Amino acid sequence: MATTPAFDIVFFGGTGDLAVRKLIPALYQAHKAGTLHPEGRIFALGRKPIGIDGYLKVLEQRVKPALGASYDDAAWNGFIQRLNFHTLDANNATDYQALAQTIGNSPDRITVCYLATAPDLFTIICQHLAQVGLNHPCVRVVLEKPLGHDLTSSNTINEAVGQYFTENQIYRIDHYLGKESVQNLMAIRFSNTLFEPLWRREWIDNIQITIAEELGVEERGEFYDRTGALRDMLQSHLLQLLCIVAMEPPASLSEDAIRDEKLKVLKSLKPFSTEDVLAKSVRGQYRSGAINGAPVVAYREENHVAPDSNTETFVALQAEVANWRWAGVPFFLRTGKRMPERVAEIVINFRDVPHALFPMPLGVHSANRLVIRLQPKESVRLYFLAKEPGDAMNLQPTYLNLDFHTMFKARWADAYERLLLDVIRGRLALFMRRDEQAQAWTWVEPILDCWGKYASAPKTYTAGSWGPAASSALASRAGCLWHEET
């Protein structure tokens, strides 16, 4: 089994929610699978001097129970031998000198610095790393989203980080790009003649991309109230998925060939005018309701959320890619918290046949659609109509189902696990380039500006529903329905 090169990975914010809930478990799974080099070391950094024993107690309480059936005593005991804890204040230059002495500063050893912190700390962390020599060519820095609050702040961070690290050392992570089904979308599109001739405006009626969450803001109320769904999810995750769906075939699978094509899509997105924002965007905020039968409070009643907050927890947009392949095809993007279920999916609705010989079955809006499910269980379904048994020529919808977990018996890597391994191995293809990110902010900013100018409160929706009624109306005006409503 192929392993990574020897490495040191350093988690700034190592006691925070992201590191404990996602990053450490991802590396445990890689260790258990045998893909980590035996000499790979993991350093968690935190402000409190809890030491390695205190840190292991945190992991015992929060990580081990969450691993479920994947937990293995021998694997866990071997994994924690890789772990180290180092006390560090991100603003204290002296602490970085101690860090460099602790991990060493070999110019030939791969060192990954993962900044799982607030974006306003990125600049000072990179500056201090450079001052102690931890920016040599084998150092890679991972930046978590959202990278800034708008285009100006994003550019400021990128320029500051770029003073100390070259572009090929900077890994701007979007964990949705690490999902197996997202990569399979590229494989389906670019290795099968079945789909490529149909993947264009002549045959596709509309495309829907949804990322829905059952969860509320949990313990992130203060962060979320300053950020909102558009910055937190749409500017990053949904636009990246749109790029994968709409991009032209790259010349190769090299990192820049893929990212060049994604950039072309972002540049082709039709800019929003004020009239477009008012007509083709929906802001929502959840009120009290129920999730899986359990009552939940309204967003404004969540901890660390302002009682008069106008922050959106739901966004729906109708976008258009203005090029020859996609002109006129509506792309519907939707994301929200406190939705009925946790689901992320891409739905390709194909046009109906030009002359209908058979009546459309009751309740069926589109005869043919491709549904790529990203979570919670990855799959691809191709829906079509077929005759039901009997004397009458009655059609009913059915589908071909590619269930990856049933079809492929190999172990599945989590998105964060895959991306962490890519960073260690120096693979940039699944990470955002600076110009991609700047272009995404350029497209999003007119929407933010318009919302700010008109300062209208978001439309409320009941927790446990699919968002405000205006979201359904947005799709209806284009002559279609959201996938959940079909």
| Torsional sign, CA 108, 135, 240, 15 | positive
* Active-site hit among 31, 128, 237, 483: 237
CA 2 to CA 326: how far, in whole Å? 40
Distance of CA 63 to the CA centre of its chain: 22
Residue 420 to residue 423: CA distance in whole angstroms: 5
Phi, psi of 447 (to 5 degrees): -70, -45
259: region left, alpha or beta (phi > 0 left; psi from -120 to 50 alpha): alpha
Sheet with 7-12: list strands edge to edge: 83-87, 41-46, 7-12, 110-115, 139-143, 170-172
Residue 312 and residue 444: Cα distance in Å, rounded? 15
The β-bridge partners of 399 are 383
Measured between alpha carbons, how far is 47 from 192 in angstroms, rounded to an integer?
51
Active site residue 31: no
Q: Which two tokens stand for residue 276?
A: 């477009």
d(CA 110, CA 107): 8
User: Which residue's entry shows tokens 């912190």?
Assistant: 117
Strand bridging mode 281-287 / 459-462: parallel
Residues 179, 183, 188: CA angle, nearest 5 degrees: 135
DSSP 308: T
Calpha distance 377→445 (Å, rounded): 33
Ramachandran class of 213: left when φ > 0, alpha when ψ lies in -120 to 50, beta otherwise: beta
Question: Are 115 and 16 contacting, i.e. CB atoms less than 8 angstroms apart?
Answer: no
Catalytic residue numbers, as ranges: 237
